Every structure is written in C-alpha cells, then in structure tokens.
Amino acid sequence: MATRENIRRRAVLMGGLALPLLALPGCTGMGGFDLSEAIRRMLTLSSQRAFASLLAEDGFYSDQLARIDLPDQMGGSRAGGIVNALLSTSAVRNRLLHVLNDAAAEGAERAAPLVADAIRSFSVADALAIVRAANGDAATQALRGQMGDALVTAMFPEIGTALRIADDPIVGQVLRATTGIDIAGLGEHVAREAANGIYAAMGREEAAIRADPQATGDPIIIGAFGLLR
C-alpha cells in the first residue's frame, strides 16, 4: 500500500507536471492555431490526467486497463503446482498483486517527468492526420512510437528497488517455488506492463478529450479537435 509520504510526494509531482500546459504558447497557424501545438497540449493534458489517476492510492490496481497481472510463470499456464497451491486463495493472490501494482506506481513516478519532456519535444510529421484519425489514441501511439522503450528502461531500476524494499514474504515464497523467473525478471515484467498501462491510460484520456474538446477549456485544443473534426 502507498504510504502517506508516497502520496504527498506524488501530489507534489503532479502539481509540477501541471505547469507545462499553462506555459505552452498559443501558437498560430491553420485557422489561427497550430495543429502540432494542439496535439502537444492534448497529450500534456491526457498524460496529467492519466498519471493523476495511476499515482493515486491503489491507482494501478484499481484500473482495469493498467492493472499489473502476474507473469505466466506465477499465475498463468506456466505456473507449477507449488505456485498454484500458494496462490490458491484470493487473499494471497491479491496481496501479491498489490505488491506488484504498488511497485508499478513507484516506477510511474519516474516515468511521469520523462513523458512530460517527450511531449514538449514531440515532433509531429502529419499533424492533420493525427487530428482527424479514427482511432482515439492516435497521438498517444505516435508518442509511444517515438519514445520506444524509454519508459521501461527508466522504470526498471525503481520497480526493482520497490520490490526488494517491500520484502514481502509472499513474493519470496512464490519466487522460490517458481522456475524461469527471479526478482529481476519480475521487475522487468512489472516495468513492461506498467509502461503498457501508462500508454493505455493516456489513450483513454486522449479519447475523452477528442470526444469533448470543449470540456478542456483550452482554445487551442478546441480549435483543432472541435472545428477540424
């Protein structure tokens, strides 16, 4: 579970991430606004909303899109009989899931400023195509394509540290009974799934903004995603 100190730290982090949107310039271009700037503003807002949700208490665990599940070696078809026995009760399974999802949140703290920086330098090859895209997360997917594995790489050390600090006996018992994965492998699994969850949450927020750009109150976003759709 997230400690009060973690919650306070995350609140400060999210407050800092909110500043870039306020500082973005209202560039002019087609129709009196710049489409690339509108996309960056939308991505900034969607990422702020996504991280605010994921960094709340039990944020990853409570989010159906972002929740980290057990790797196959632990909870899937590749799990052995001893592991299945250890995880036979929902209480034990949920405890392990909470440890993994809390570790994902620790990694997401590191990811949040990286996403903010990537958005500020995001280069848009075909802004009009992204604005008019049929899929609601086109901008998020374009950003993901430019970032590559940057989030996984950045989050992996933080998540590994969080898993070791948690020192949960259930994790230790399950790892000792599991073949084909150790604490490093578990950390990599959580890092990759956390990155997937971050982009999924951002895409969900992007789709919501596209569906109702007026609700943002941002004239640049409204101009691009309201007038040109």
Tens digits of residue pLDDT in 105-163: 999 999 999 999 999 999 888 999 999 999 999 999 999 999 999 999 999 999 999 99
Distances 227 to 33, 39, 214, 215 between C-alpha atoms, Å: 11, 14, 10, 14
Total domains in the chain come to 1
Domain that holds residue 52: 4-227
DSSP assignment of 103-116: HHHHHHHHHHHHHH
49-96, pLDDT tens digit by residue?
999 999 999 999 999 999 999 888 776 555 556 666 777 778 888 888
